[in-house]
Amino acid sequence: MVALGKHYFTGLQGELRFNEPMSAHTTWRVGGPADCYYKPVGIDDLAVFLSQLPADEPLFWLGLGSNVLVRDGGLRGTVIAYFGGLNEIAQLADGSVKVEAGVACAKVARFCAKQGLVGAEFLSGIPGAVGGALAMNAGAFGGETWRLVERVEVMQRDGKRLIRDAAEYEVGYRTVVAPEDNEWFVAAWLSLREGDSSETMNNIRQLLARRSAMQPTQLANAGSVFRNPPADYAARLIEACGLKGRSIGGAVVSEKHANFIVNSGEASATDIEQLINEVMQTVKQKQGVELKKEVHLIGVEQ
């Protein structure tokens, strides 16, 4: 039996921690502590945990920790850390691929290629897990996650599970509108076409080489910071403002790709947030374009 405040859990198989530093779980390597942090061992275990969680407990779902900035004051609530726990992936008899939310997108790309399936190669360029890719219709190299989706499995706030068809969702550029609130993706069925395995693996290697050449993959970052505006690119607008290399504290606008902010080693979440705001203000002032954040800012200020 484990306690959360005055609440007790039974039958858990996963790992429950308290006052957990989120800097250890985000790709920016920043973020204050979460009140509660649960890493389930599978979908069934996650359902057991949620069924016992107080109904008013704030929830934060975390995959690989990319595309999110946790503020220095941390998170008041519970983090569901599904990466590595919801980790099943398999090709089914009908040819579709079922993948759980905690599988890294790059792993999905490699798995599909090895099975002789074509169409998921772009996932190798997404620095996150499947759950996050589903939530935001993540994309790279001209591909988008929901173009592959046949149906999804979701979990409701009380731990109940449902299967939903892809047609039930309104999907756009980096946006997904669900038919109900307080549901989270735990698995998806992907539809791909058959192809040549060796050729597909070679395509993935080429895409990864292209990504490494274009993006600061060796430095702590959270992926693209801003959405591309219609008929333009956020990186072009930022670079046109002379902001490459601009820094606040340890946060730096990448010299390699202007739509990336990197942690040079000593950045705080506050440094990164201030730099995000400065970039938005400068682009608005000089280019007349209001950039929209692709990364999610969560938590409280210190």
| Residues with active-site annotation | 174, 224, 294
State whether the Cα torsion 15-18-24-28 is positive or negative: positive
State the virtual CA torsion across 61, 157, 87, 192 in degrees, nearest 10. Answer: -100
Sheet holding 183-190, edge to edge: 89-91, 97-100, 183-190, 149-156, 161-165
Tokens 């946006």 identify what position? 175
